Structure 1
Amino acid sequence: MRKTRFAPHMLSALLLAMIPQAHAAIKSIDEFTDKLNHFPGFYAFYSDPASGKIYLDVDKLSQPFLLQHSLPYGVGSNDIGLDRGQLGSTYLVQFERFGDKVMLRALNTYFRASADNSAEQQSVKEAFASSILNGFKVVAEDDDSVLIDYTPYLLSDVHGVSRTLAARKQGSYSLDASRSATYMPRSKAFMKNTELEAVLTFKGSKPGEYVKQATANPYAVTIHQHHSLIELPDENYQPRAFHPQSGYWSIEHKDYSAPLSESMYVRYIPRHRLNKKDPTAKVSEPVEPIVYYLDPGVPEPVKTALLDGARWWDQAFEAAGYKNAFQVKVLPENADPMDIRYNVIQWVHRATRGWSYGASVIDPRTGEIIKGHVTLGSLRVRQDILIAEALAAPFVKGDEVTAHLHAMALDRIRQLSAHEIGHTLGIAHNFSASVKDRASVMDYPHPLVGMNDQGELDISKGYASGMGEWDTQVIKYGYSDFTAVDESQGLAAILAENKSKGLEFISDADARPKGGAHPTAHLWDNGGDPAAELTRVLDIRRKALARFGLNNIKTGEALSQLEEKLVPLYLFHRYQVESAVKLIGGVDYDYEVRGAQTAKGAQVVGKAQQQAALSALLDTLSPEQLMIPESVLALIPPKAYGEYKTRESIKGRTGLTLDAMALPEVAAQHTLSLLLNPQRLNRLAQQGARNHANLNSDDLLNTVYQHVFQPKAESGMATKLAQRVQFLTAYRLAELGSSDKLAPEVQAQLRYYLSQLVEQYSDDSLFGGSSKADAFDTYLADLVAQYLESGQWPQGFKALPMPPGSPI
């Protein structure tokens, strides 16, 4: 075969001839979009009604802006966590061109160099990876702009829906392009933001329980996904320094230009931009107020309650020197709640009750809050009503209107509205506020109820109203205008004032752990003395249980519904148990920084206070506290036809019928797991060794042993309850004895007490003679003996699960 050879000059001529053809293939933007719908704005876009595609006019290459992903339509399951209105990731991004492609690059904002030296800045930029979020094909261009097809990116799973479903073990899902499309009713462009939305459908297999509960078809999960392209704020915003006692979250980055004598970590508080019109005036209107908009879909009377609670914040802004700085309105009819221009309070429905939360779109460079977005779970108000009806037994005739109980529940909703808005103002939880007369809406409040002289429920103090003292102070720190004065001095004065007022601030990391040590950092508690409050709460619970019965449900309701009202009443003390137990092995401390004053440090809680807490906690293990009244057990039947058990129901071991031992078991297990916590026992061992005046681990173990394994003689159900507590305690001690989380010297103590138990129960059987009455003692001693020999509990046992409690 003859080969044809091209000379180099012939190849060059051929390539030069192809270049005009390539350029001709790229149309101008006007030509390409001639028949498309145009939406001018921050990033103008074009929509093609025929194909459903969206084309973005990129006229700002290599210019950073903010990109926010969100979820306008959710799945509807608290357990899955893909809620309506959920904010996703916020990125600082920019479009960059590479030949015939445009890349969307997310810049790495955590690692920075503040120096003016461009080479130093470049060295940091090259050291830490950025992220190309998507690549786009150029479909048309002009001299100063390129047009890209944004549709594939808009129809991709940027919110991570499939990953979330997999992580929650709800099946394997993937995006189905044939059932996904752009959504034009909520795709709009404005001067400073462009909003784009899509309908996405995820096809899946082996759907989980939660997907089945919430979706029309669990094999096809359809949601909406939203993109907000946001112009960067101007440079007139002044970041405010974070302080660990300020009450705010922190926005952090690492500065590689920091002097060797200074920390590399730079922390700001997140906050909205707010300035006085007249910085020299004691009280001034703002240049621009902070305005929040309430979901118009909220029904009354909840709607009014949410507006009331939200508007409490203006009280705090007034104390900070502003007039009408914080406003709350109803969202206009045609406004999009995902539009970045609106701070929004959304009323979100789910298949089961769940958490509310406040999220924000934050400029990662400065900490400036661009948009606050509150999610309020709609079922929480019903849980408060359920608790109130369980305590009050208000239906004597069966048809009473319980407006006073509903009023307490609405008070809780007011507080909840204020709480979640607080998060979107940049404010963190303060779980020490309850000990200072409920000083903050940023705590988790438990209803403060009592019984009057007539034995009736007193809810007059159920929930606090208005801003707490801490809330006012924290707004002063974050939003006071220091234009006319020295800011650092002004902030220091506010922190000093907090201290003089006796205000404490302890947040999540110190309050949530089961082995937590701080004596005032608690969730869902009341009172300055956790042990005394536990005793008071147990008394209220005892009285309410004694009269629990038909008066707890309305005429026409199935008797089996009493079960769901019994649960929160029986476990009414659960959170005060968590509060009181932190006194044991407790350590009092603040988020201190070095200053002129003597450091407080870490102070061990006094022995007498710990012993009082231990006494109150052991009372929760007594048969008298654990026993469900016979009148209640004899009244509640299995589920009526047409009804079914839910996650709020009691899970027991007696089949369809109510298990009289189930709630006592979970309540006892709750106390024991907290009291015999490895971190708590380890602390006690060390504290006792450091100072003999402190409570030590042997004090605790010996007291528990004496209370549980040497009880007074009981009979009937009291005997069964005492035996169940003994079993749970022995099992817990054995479980800890094999745990790598427990210090070896404490493990030795546990082994000693388990050996004592075997010896005691074996001696009782030996000298008392074997009988049916001794069967449990012999059985338990045998189990413990086998554990001591093998290091493993000889039989499978799993404590019954605690019914859900939080949130209330």
Structure 2
Amino acid sequence: MKLLKFTFLSSLALSIALGANAQKKDEKKSEETKPSTPAPAAPAKPAEMPKAGPKSYKEVITDKAKTSKGLMTVHKVDDKYFFEIADTLMGRDIMTVTRYSKTAAGGGIFGGEEVNRQVVRWEKGPENKLFLRSISLIIASPDSTKPIFKSVLNSSADPIIGVFDIKALRKDTSSVIEVTDFFKGDNQVFSLDPVNKQLLKIAAIQPDRSFIQHIRSYPINTEIRTTKTFSVVPPSVSLAPIPQIGNYLPASRDAGVVTMEFNTSMIILPKTPMRKRYFDPRVGYFANQYSTFGEESQQSDKEVFTVRWRLEPKNQEDAERQKRGELIEPKKPIIYYIDPATPKKWQKYLKAGVDDWQVAFEKAGWKNAIRGEYLSEKDSLSLEDARFSVIRYFAADIQNAYGPNVHDPRSGEILESHIGWYHNVMRLLRNWYLIQTAASDPRSRKKTFDDELMGQLIRFVSSHEVGHTIGLRHNMGASSATPVEKLRDKDWVAKNGHTSSIMDYARFNYVAQPEDGVTDFFPRIGDYDIWAIQWAYKFFADAKSATEEKSILNQLTKEAIKDPRKRFGTEISPFDPRYQTEDLSDNAMKASDYGIKNLQRILPNLPEWSKENGETYKELAELYANVVGQYRRYIGHVTKNVGGIYDTPKTYDMEGSVYEVVPRATQKDAVSFLNRQVFETPTWLLDRNILNKINPETGVEAIKSIQEATLNNLLAGDRAVRLMETGSSSSANYNLDELMTDLRSSIWSELKSKKAIDIYRRNLQKVFVEKVASLLNPGMTTTSYIPQGASYGFESRMVDLKKTDLPSIARAHLEMLKSDIKLALPLTTDKMSKYHLQDVLQRIENALNPNK
């Protein structure tokens, strides 16, 4: 109707103009001759309505169009963007990955980090529409010819996230749609999801300040670069503080809006997915999974498969050569490009971290399968281009690095990876290395490391993060394969390293003592890593299916893990003391004793190693905190042995139990360590030459905090449940009553020795009484374990501790302590000790008889 109105008014204006001109020309003539009666006007033709449906191709994609050909041909006509989508793309799976290109400062988010990923499909709809669906791969049926396949489809409708008018058709082989508003808008799949918006306190998009920078297409992917501006959640005004989700970005407070740049990659997934390699809990790989419904099966199955790159021979001839034991180059190698924004002096070390994996791939039969390559500012390669894997360098004060991957959810095939490298990870490396090795390595006894030492530290972390991007999980059990005394053997460490996997959080060799002469402190690609790469990347030319490969791999795995150095230990085990972060060796008690000896050597030197004229003692405070943190790690390593259970993944064709209780002697040794190194006051931490420069306090509360945290951990509900259960199953096992006895005897040793009780011990003893008293009326606790065959996740059970032996044992030990204090009080001469015992006695009485 708007078009019709415009046409009518235009015709009227034209008639008036023509009439005026005619009047001027015939003015004289009209004075002499009477005008004749005008002929009736011809009826006006009705305005033509635009044709419904697509226009001709040239009407939409005009000569002005700037075109980029690729996965989806992209046309820009004036300020509008059009996608030309081939019919052959309909129904194809396309992975979308959205990353920040530029971010607002101060939010802990950085350019290059992933925002969103999702599989989508184009689909023709009714009335000349194209639909874009978001695909959630949760259930599947392996055979599309069977009736059950239709049932699966009926139970997995996918949401439509975009509806587009088909503007034009090209030879009936492709459809043209306009995507301008869609991509510059706030569609969740291509923008921030609601959780991230809450965390950043971001609200609605501002269309007038949001636009598409460019869209470029390549053979297998299309890249969309956008700028989006968001309003922010209005600050609440309240006199009382109200807990709120998220934090405002500095730009939010300064300008009231936030502007960010995003890059979305749309990459076509292979028409035929890569053959799956089924997940095995005995080897540590990331995995994907979905439920499958087979026509002949009597139940739904969960198909769990490994995440890995596709490495294949170039041809059959190469496959035969590889079978004969020759190394061959893969059809497509794994290449990581180094971000040109990386400082020049560190680039070679990041590259070396990639290249270090070549030795593992060679053992799997591949030559030149993985490498790092440099990029220069002149290279046209876009760091956001989904065809390329990149090590991105972030100017950030975060002390970390990370190594994700983008993979095909149908098969586990890794498509690309963007490793994130934060500038301040070097600070973390400096602190770790100094605190763990300075007793034995003179190179680390300084505030700023030499470039070569820092470069080697960077190389180690680069290798670790690359390991994640080729599919490897953390192997926290690797270090437990090394006997503790071997860590002090210079020749053995030089040959084998202090852990069998660079994927362990084993960091550096803190066990070696200065007199040992050890000079090799770094992790390296180890025996486990080499075996794990063989498991995932060896090409089995004769295997006809994933099931056949699984059978072959099972035999290889059973043989390999006879060697403890090739075993995997999950990073999520809640109760196996062999699987821990930052620990070393097969004996946490001995290793931690050695570690504490080195901390006692390092601590007095911190003022000298951190000094800089004209600077405050901030550096000293940071290093002291790192010493305390390392000490607390040792305590945690030992504590996990108490109530511990070994969890060794096994299959039906292997002998032995999956779950075994940690031996009683080992648990007793752990408690003895804690009594000696924690509950006996660790006075070595109270170095006055340091504390009087960094803290007005003398360390009393700091020591109490460490001891209280340890005691709470030892008497945690889930640990108590394990100790009660395993203790009742065999008299040979350590039990909860024995733990309480060992703790009480040590923490309250002054009752027998008749020594004065100093302030540190008085605090600890009050902590003990309060903790045990709380167990008289305990609440609920959660016990967890990893289900058999699972890649991640826990099975959990809630336990009501009031209905267990825990309150009974706690009451018995409070009664015994009460009796011991009554006997000791008359013989106590120290005034503060007497005050203390009288107070504690009353607390026990109140706990035992609250209504008295």
Q: TM-score, normalised by structure 2?
A: 0.79
Deviation at 1:431, TM superposition (A): 0.8
Instruction: Spell out the pairing of 1:252-401 with structure 2 (5 A cutoff).
Output: 252-257=289-294, 259-260=296-297, 264-277=301-314, 278-281=318-321, 282=325, 283-331=327-375, 333-354=379-400, 356-389=401-434
Residue 604 (1) aligns with residue 686 (2): no
Q: SS where residue 365 of structure 1 aligns? A: coil
Partner of residue 638, structure 2: 580
Structure 1 residues 700-725: Cα deviation after superposition (integer angstroms, max 9, x where no partner):
11111222233487999x82222332
Residue 617 (1) aligns with residue 671 (2): no
Partner of residue 175, structure 1: 205
Q: SS where residue 643 of structure 2 aligns? A: coil
Partner of residue 519, structure 1: 577
Deviation at 1:444, TM superposition (A): 1.1
The alignment of Structure 1 onto Structure 2 pairs a total of residues equal to 739
Amino acid paired to 1:149:
E
- Alignment match of 1:463 (pick from 506, 513, 522): 522
- Separation of aligned partners in 2, 1:258 and 1:360: 34
Amino acid paired to 2:632:
R
The answer to whether the 8 A contact 1:80-1:165 is kept is no
Partner of residue 84, structure 2: 57
Higher mean Cα deviation, 691-700 or 143-152?
A: 143-152
Partner of residue 530, structure 2: 472
Flag the 1:352–1:763 CA change in 2: closer, same or farther, 3 A.
farther
Residue 690 (1) aligns with residue 729 (2): yes
Flag the 1:98–1:776 CA change in 2: closer, same or farther, 3 A.
farther
The answer to whether the 8 A contact 1:193-1:229 is kept is yes
Structure 1 residues 329-366: Cα deviation after superposition (integer angstroms, max 9, x where no partner):
12453222221110122223434324x32222211222
Flag the 1:576–1:159 CA change in 2: closer, same or farther, 3 A.
farther
Amino acid paired to 1:104:
L
Partner of residue 794, structure 2: none
Structure 1 residues 31-56: Cα deviation after superposition (integer angstroms, max 9, x where no partner):
12323322221111223554xx4322
Partner of residue 772, structure 2: 733
Amino acid paired to 2:176:
L
The answer to whether the 8 A contact 2:286-2:471 is kept is yes
Partner of residue 147, structure 1: 176
Amino acid paired to 2:576:
H
- Separation of aligned partners in 2, 1:389 and 1:553: 14
Residue 427 (1) aligns with residue 457 (2): no
The answer to whether the 8 A contact 1:518-1:587 is kept is yes
Deviation at 1:471, TM superposition (A): 0.7
Amino acid paired to 2:194:
R
Q: SS where residue 153 of structure 1 aligns? A: helix
Deviation at 1:691, TM superposition (A): 0.6
Partner of residue 747, structure 1: 807
Higher mean Cα deviation, 128-137 or 781-790?
A: 781-790
- Separation of aligned partners in 2, 1:362 and 1:318: 23
Partner of residue 487, structure 1: 549
Q: SS where residue 561 of structure 1 aligns? A: helix
- Separation of aligned partners in 1, 2:555 and 2:178: 54
The answer to whether the 8 A contact 2:447-2:610 is kept is no
Deviation at 1:74, TM superposition (A): 5.8
Deviation at 1:699, TM superposition (A): 0.9
Flag the 1:739–1:415 CA change in 2: closer, same or farther, 3 A.
farther
The answer to whether the 8 A contact 2:364-2:533 is kept is yes
Structure 1 residues 590-614: Cα deviation after superposition (integer angstroms, max 9, x where no partner):
121111x323331111111111111
Q: Percent identity, please.
A: 20
Q: SS where residue 124 of structure 2 aligns? A: strand
Q: SS where residue 189 of structure 2 aligns? A: coil
Partner of residue 39, structure 1: 68
Structure 1 residues 611-665: Cα deviation after superposition (integer angstroms, max 9, x where no partner):
1111112233235425533433554146xxxxxxxxxxxxxxxxxx356234323
- RMSD over aligned CA atoms reads 3.5
Deviation at 1:150, TM superposition (A): 2.0
Q: SS where residue 509 of structure 1 aligns? A: coil
The answer to whether the 8 A contact 1:78-1:350 is kept is no
Q: SS where residue 336 of structure 2 aligns? A: strand
Partner of residue 793, structure 2: none
Q: SS where residue 694 of structure 1 aligns? A: coil
Deviation at 1:475, TM superposition (A): 0.8
Deviation at 1:190, TM superposition (A): 0.9
- Alignment match of 2:562 (pick from 500, 503, 506): 500
Partner of residue 788, structure 2: none
Structure 1 residues 426-485: Cα deviation after superposition (integer angstroms, max 9, x where no partner):
22221101122411111112321367558xx988332223x1111111111111111146
- Alignment match of 2:746 (pick from 707, 710, 714): 707
Deviation at 1:116, TM superposition (A): 4.0
Q: SS where residue 738 of structure 1 aligns? A: coil
Residue 449 (1) aligns with residue 510 (2): yes
- Separation of aligned partners in 2, 1:345 and 1:633: 40
The answer to whether the 8 A contact 2:404-2:468 is kept is yes
Q: SS where residue 750 of structure 1 aligns? A: helix
- Alignment match of 1:192 (pick from 220, 233, 237): 220
Deviation at 1:587, TM superposition (A): 1.5
Question: Which structure 2 residue ranges, 5 or more long, are not aligned?
Answer: 1-44, 236-243, 483-498, 782-799
Deviation at 1:697, TM superposition (A): 0.7
- Separation of aligned partners in 2, 1:626 and 1:223: 52
Residue 528 (1) aligns with residue 557 (2): no
- Separation of aligned partners in 2, 1:78 and 1:692: 58
Q: SS where residue 805 of structure 2 aligns? A: helix
The answer to whether the 8 A contact 2:353-2:462 is kept is yes
Partner of residue 227, structure 1: 264
Q: SS where residue 374 of structure 1 aligns? A: strand
The answer to whether the 8 A contact 1:77-1:210 is kept is no
Deviation at 1:753, TM superposition (A): 2.7
Q: SS where residue 51 of structure 2 aligns? A: helix
Deviation at 1:248, TM superposition (A): 1.6
Question: Which structure 1 residue ranges, 5 or more long, are not aligned?
Answer: 1-16, 511-515, 639-656, 792-808
- Alignment match of 1:540 (pick from 590, 598, 614): 598
Partner of residue 133, structure 1: 161
Flag the 1:773–1:614 CA change in 2: closer, same or farther, 3 A.
closer
Q: SS where residue 123 of structure 1 aligns? A: helix
The answer to whether the 8 A contact 1:179-1:200 is kept is yes
Structure 1 residues 261-313: Cα deviation after superposition (integer angstroms, max 9, x where no partner):
57612222111111134112212222221212122222244322211111111
Flag the 1:762–1:95 CA change in 2: closer, same or farther, 3 A.
farther
Deviation at 1:369, TM superposition (A): 1.2
Flag the 1:779–1:103 CA change in 2: closer, same or farther, 3 A.
farther
The answer to whether the 8 A contact 1:77-1:83 is kept is no
Amino acid paired to 2:474:
H
- Separation of aligned partners in 1, 2:175 and 2:408: 27
- Alignment match of 1:27 (pick from 55, 79, 84): 55
Structure 1 residues 167-214: Cα deviation after superposition (integer angstroms, max 9, x where no partner):
54x535332323322122xx3101111111211223223398854479
Instruction: Select the structure of larger CA radius of gyration.
Output: 2
Amino acid paired to 1:115:
D
The answer to whether the 8 A contact 2:55-2:167 is kept is yes
Amino acid paired to 1:233:
P
Amino acid paired to 1:494:
L
Deviation at 1:751, TM superposition (A): 3.2
Amino acid paired to 2:502:
V
The answer to whether the 8 A contact 1:77-1:211 is kept is no
- Separation of aligned partners in 1, 2:102 and 2:820: 59
- Separation of aligned partners in 2, 1:631 and 1:26: 83
Q: SS where residue 557 of structure 2 aligns? A: helix
